[in-house]
């Protein structure tokens, strides 16, 4: 009788039954609803705020990709910024009009100079290319552990910056590449962000993720149990890098201009800060951390710009205050709340726990 009841609860998606499809779909539904709510509020705001929110959603895709690998494996990863650059330039060079490429990149290889794909296919090409490069790079890197693996991903970021910055015939070097076709709007950015949430959730629910998380907690024990740690890390690294490349492509098609320096240390640090502040062990942490840091940096940017006071006075904070506060906030989170704002838990788990607590309080009353 208990088995029948358990089966019926699973089919009906009971809250107490984690195997029900409703229980498994609750988290992506909550996160997608949060993304939609933020997008609707931005839609009702001024154009500048809309642009800020679009950039926030683009960052969110990259942070979710970072969480897929770094959050589940426990390996520090700085290479997402490099994959963003690869995706941005790959999508731009394959979708830019031929005459524009002839004007700004006269030394471009013939096969690339004459190529012009439909703009909407660019991000998907960036996704595939990012995953392909991640397979090649990740195969030897995933054999490393601990600080060595983190330094290796940092080296990948450096190599990516050097290649993109000095391959003048293809990327234009350190000069800005303009003429990138734009099509990313608020609904497009929100749609891709929701797709990234669903992809990360499907990965977290797969049979790959649980043993990968076990290796994060105790790698020696996981290897002793026969877990193919290197292979699982590679799969997570490939998927996360692909999402990073997708984010870079969307950034290029939103701004219309690319600079190599955009995909360097500042971006790598910002992505890690967003994930750590939100909580690297959960998808909710990636989403909440991106929203929180984006809101904080926007407020600090306005503070640095200054406000006009009566009698012609102008009050402005010192330049660089925003970066200092973000870094300080990251340090405080690491000290007093190592698991981030969400505590390493998903929003649906927090919601269920608060609901049970409220029910107990009502019962006791």
Host domain of residue 197: 23-262
- pLDDT given at position 2: 39
Q: How confident is the model at residue 252 (pLDDT cuts 50, 70, 90)?
A: very high
Report yes or no on whether pTM surpasses 0.85. yes
The total domain count for the chain is 1
Among residues of the chain, what percentage have pLDDT more than 90?
A: 54
Tell me whether strands 257-258 and 307-308 are parallel, antiparallel or unpaired: unpaired
Among residues of the chain, what percentage have pLDDT more than 70?
A: 85
The rounded mean pLDDT for the chain is 86
- pLDDT given at position 354: 63
* 270: in domain: no
DSSP state of 158: H
Pairwise pLDDT comparison (326 vs 337), residue with the higher score: 337
Kindly list the distances between the CA atom of residue 298 and the CA atoms of 316, 322, 350, in Å, as whole numbers in the listed order. Answer: 14, 9, 27
State the Cα–Cα distance between residues 97 and 90, nearest whole angstrom: 14
* 36: in domain: yes
- Whose tokens are 């500042």? That residue is 266
* 96: in domain: yes
- Which one, of 106, 101, 135, lies nearest residue 117 by Cα? 101
* 97: in domain: yes
Q: Report whether 35 contacts 28 (CB < 8 A).
A: no
* Tally of residues, the chain: 365
Q: How confident is the model at residue 82 (pLDDT cuts 50, 70, 90)?
A: very high
Tell me whether strands 314-315 and 307-308 are parallel, antiparallel or unpaired: antiparallel
* 140: in domain: yes
Tokens describing residue 60: 């969110």
* 45: in domain: yes
- pLDDT given at position 8: 39
* 53: in domain: yes
* 79: in domain: yes
- pLDDT given at position 15: 38
């Amino acid at each position: 009788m208990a088995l029948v009841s358990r089966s019926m609860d699973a089919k009906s998606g009971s809250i107490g039954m984690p195997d029900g499809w409703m229980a498994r779909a609750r988290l992506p539904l909550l996160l997608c609803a949060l993304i939609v709510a933020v997008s609707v509020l931005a839609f009702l705001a001024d154009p500048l705020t809309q642009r800020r929110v679009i950039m926030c959603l683009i960052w969110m895709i990259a942070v979710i990709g970072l969480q897929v690998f770094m959050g589940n494996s426990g390996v520090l990863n700085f290479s997402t910024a490099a994959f963003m650059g690869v995706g941005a330039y790959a999508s731009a060079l394959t979708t830019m009009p031929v005459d524009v490429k002839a004007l700004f990149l006269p030394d471009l290889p013939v096969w690339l100079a004459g190529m012009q794909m439909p703009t909407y296919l660019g991000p998907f090409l960036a996704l595939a290319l990012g995953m392909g490069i991640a397979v090649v790079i990740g195969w030897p890197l995933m054999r490393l552990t601990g600080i060595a693996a983190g330094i290796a991903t940092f080296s990948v970021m450096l190599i990516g910056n050097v290649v993109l910055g000095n391959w003048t015939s293809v990327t234009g070097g350190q000069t800005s590449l303009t003429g990138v076709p734009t099509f990313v709007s608020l609904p497009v950015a929100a749609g891709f962000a929701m797709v990234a949430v669903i992809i990360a959730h499907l990965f977290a629910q797969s049979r790959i993720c649980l043993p990968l998380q076990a290796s994060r907690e105790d790698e020696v024990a996981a290897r002793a149990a026969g877990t193919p740690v290197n292979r699982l890390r590679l799969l997570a690294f490939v998927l996360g890098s692909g999402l990073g490349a997708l984010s870079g492509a969307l950034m290029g098609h939103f701004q219309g201009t690319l600079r190599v320096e955009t995909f360097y240390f500042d971006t790598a640090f910002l992505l890690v800060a967003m994930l750590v502040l939100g909580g690297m062990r959960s998808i909710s942490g990636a989403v909440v951390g991106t929203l929180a840091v984006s809101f904080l940096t926007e407020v600090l940017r306005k503070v640095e710009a200054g406000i006009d006071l009566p009698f012609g006075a102008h009050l402005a904070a010192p330049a660089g205050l925003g970066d200092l506060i973000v870094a300080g906030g990251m340090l405080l989170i690491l000290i007093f709340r190592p698991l981030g704002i969400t505590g390493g838990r998903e929003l649906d788990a927090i919601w269920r726990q608060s609901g049970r607590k409220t029910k107990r309080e009502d019962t006791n009353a």
